[in-house]
Amino acid sequence: MRVSAIVFTLAAALLVAAPALGQSGEETGAPAQQSGPVPGQQMSHWFRRAAEAFQRGDIEGWVEATGELHRLRPYNQDFMRHLVEGHARLGNLSEAFEMMLTMQQQGLSQDWDAIDAVAPLREHRLYDHLSGLMLDAGEAFGDVELWSTLDQRYAMPEALAFDPRSDRIFVGTVRDGLILSTTDGQSWDRYATPESLSGLQAVFDLEVDAERRHLWVATGTVSQFQGEAREDGVRSALLRLDLDSGELQAEYPLSSGSGRNLIGSLVVASDGTVFAADAQAPIIYRLEPGAEALRPFFGHQNFTSLRGLAINDDDSLLYVADYELGIFVIDATGGQQAWQLAVPETFNAGGIDGLFWWDNHLVLIQNAITPQRVVRLDLGADGLGVTAVAPLAAARDEFDTPTFGVMDGSDLYFLAASHWQHVDDSGNAAGELPDVPVMTVDVAKASVRVAGQEMLERLKRQQAEEARRNGGG
């Protein structure tokens, strides 16, 4: 159990790595060996080494390179599976079972009987035990309900927002750049379209500021967006709409021309400050009330792909999900440092898309691991570590890459499926697009609860040792 957090700091120049960190976030106290990959190229180096070794049948070299990839991306399920396969083929049964056990403890599902490479493991009783448990992990569970359905008329829905005053839920779409609204989930009205709203392109996130009657829109252009490109060349922008009328109040461009920036997720603090994560660059921006432009707030070269954002009740901590590396906690008051959220070793924090704050908990949607799931994390008093993990739903038949959602009290409304995997680079589908269910789950009622027991026991031992030393006994 790791209880210490990896600390990130913002150097004077944006995206300059902290001295104690390497490219992937690992500590680099000793000088790098000359034979190793240069910073910034470690992933591509070890990918190439792994591929070359596998192609020439060098299983030992493949395992070595895959081990490095796992070190850099510890939550990647494919790397973990490949290590089980490779060690099994080499006869390293203890290493294979150790990785298999790690995957099982993290709640991952895998049908090992379908993988011939692990045949050497099958003559041991431990294989039957772990294999059975990992098959069970793929069984559907969770008290979720269908609230609404978005059919193929609304291609590539990507964002949800809720206005508690009007009881409306908003949905944004990528392919056609639509913003839809509903009060009952039965019928959807077109709140805004690229034709009716200047500057609207593909919609990636929506945030309601109910107090100030604002609807914030993260919009931009991608190849799947089938609307017209903007004449001014702006490729990504933050829009502020009047929540009641839908009229454009202000626009904050981020990228134009050949710029690769794209606002992908938003969160609004209680004072109206907006935080925006860049989906294509490792930067988080901030827009303070009354400001005329988005300003860089925090960035670090170790971030891989920024996804969901959440902020705590007193606006002191900003949480950001990195798709490969897990969750980071940023000092929201100044952005001068950040910590990697400390989680139990029995929790896989990879593949998080949606991230939400609720009553000193984080609620998250994971779609890059098997099973895909919705999870609640109980946080410690300082908000920097997880004390318990409570899966809410997993492996439901409706889940087809669940993505984002919105909280209404303790109820999470979320998109249980996505169209990204059903369209080509131009946003066109080979056939009919499947319906996207909008589902709801009460996050206060976890059906399964797994305590972070190792973390708690270690903290208790440390406290007892400190008390013994301070007491002189």
Q: Which amino acid is at 40?
A: G
Query: How much is the pLDDT for 269?
Result: 98
Query: How much is the pLDDT for 38?
Result: 74
pLDDT tens across 293-321, in order?
Answer: 999 999 988 899 999 999 999 999 999 99
pLDDT tens across 423-438, in order?
Answer: 999 999 989 999 999 9
Query: How much is the pLDDT for 8?
Result: 36
The pTM (predicted TM-score) of the whole model is: 0.87
Query: How much is the pLDDT for 310?
Result: 98
Burial class (CB in 10 A: 0-12, 13-18, 19+), 320: buried
pLDDT below 70 — which residues of the chain? Answer: 1-35, 39, 256-259, 447-464, 466-467, 470-473
**Domains of the chain and any CATH numbers:** 38-136 (1.25.40), 141-458 (2.130.10.10)
